[in-house]
Structure 1
């Protein structure tokens, strides 16, 4: 069972890229993905000898990265070497190899810098329709707390879906943040009227927030929700600091055509100042569950189902367990496994049906064994 196929790893061979490579390896292990390293050289080199030397060095460095990935027990794809604009070539390569995720470093920054995101990383986020995972300089992958801000848009739905899966896989706490933006502070009306307006806005926002969450299966997840009032960007950054967030998962504005470079003012401010690693999404999900549909072995089907339950894919787990029953309709663990899932999903009638079926078969097998023992004793 794979959660994604390919990670495109942008390797610039700098000292800080060592942590980026390590992060890619750890992420690939958890999500069972292949890593494809890529490096981009400038295309304005006029000296052919210099160009040739750079090419040879880059090829050797990419091979080193690929070997490091393989030695860590992760599959490495054929390294890619491109010439031209770094952000353009990486974005194009992501489409060409059909990657699920672009993984890049945030860029090296000086101590005390307010804007911590490098130009290359920012432009890739702006231009890419593929999800982009940005690794903060010097911050190892140790995901215990995940934050997902939502604004009820399709991109935030996509972000929350992936954040839920990430929380399951890393056994992390997920904070779902819905900021109620207070406005109209310049209205020429009394303060009590402004307060009443914002109170009504807040109540409506919380109701919309709760309705939004009903679309998602949060069963078995360690999660909390927060609905503060204020400026969205400030509240997101404040929450990251207050809760010591390790990973921010955030949908962007995701535009096309002339407005394609626009990622939204909130996203732009947050990703420039965020102190932790983050994942941005536009029109595609990171997680793309791939099941081995041709599995016929009950044991493998059952193991896959157990893993799916652990990762929060309950409906897919039920399908795998029902496939077990198609092969052997006496498979008790499948019946009881389905019953447990329906209990998690708060569907007691379905849970009882499958539990009774499993226990009924268990009793039948038990009585059959007793009859066999009695026959042996009687010598019949």
Structure 2
């Protein structure tokens, strides 16, 4: 009796999707409280493996977690498409300057081109890489391998492991991986990808060490190897950028942020004090404090969702992204007020002037008022 064909191993993306499906199935609203051990048993993988994919989901902005003392973590599934269930073509999260580049973007990848996506932290670079995996490009490639730049051996071990999972590398060749040198790992990778259409998705390429950049130069000599990479600082890449079409990802425009906030507030039924005018103020607050960076917009909207309503005080004091609050230095004003109050008091005593004495009392009152507000006047 012949044995049935074994199911192919799940890709990293499929494993992450399975974790998300389990969390969604057990969630109440958008939150799920579950221990790592229980989640591991439901997935059928080790806690270490599940923890790794949970961290990747958090880095991609699809999941957030909250640690609770002596209780399982609470996982919150972040809506990856906050403005609509189906994102229209050319939507802000896919837009790249220079016309309708969504199709150009896909076409370049299919032809084996190499793209470098540049932009500040939180602009959506990693999100785009995850979108590429879900874009149906798998029909054009033998494998799509997500990677993260780092030390050369660690990077190449990631790559070899991904090639093994994709079935492009003979397990016998990969025996004793940890004991291999960097050059041996590189040769192994080059043999595996030679003549194969493989797409590498490299996140944070600007974190590559000089040694890794040298290894990548060799790897990029493979003609069938397509690469999409992300970076924050182009100057750190040196001559490596010569191998890429560089595309800078712009922040969202004011109108795009306004539309996002508007649809978010309506979809969740959040009350905004002040009606339409209050909503317009909220939109401006979020745009001015996020500067169109999608991750910052998401963080601010998450605060709004937790609050459940928006009033002027909340908008003014809570919708702040990062950094310390800067206060006006009032030391010299307080010292000057105290000196003036003392001078007027002694002058009134010397001149026996009751009016000056009363004025000194007002100066003292001003001194205590200023002391009260000295750490409450924020610099905008």
- Kindly name which structure, 1 or 2, has the bigger radius of gyration based on alpha carbons: 2
TM-score, normalised to structure 1, is 0.25
TM-score, normalised to structure 2, is 0.25
The structure showing larger relative contact order (alpha-carbon pairs under 8 Å, at least 6 residues apart) is 1
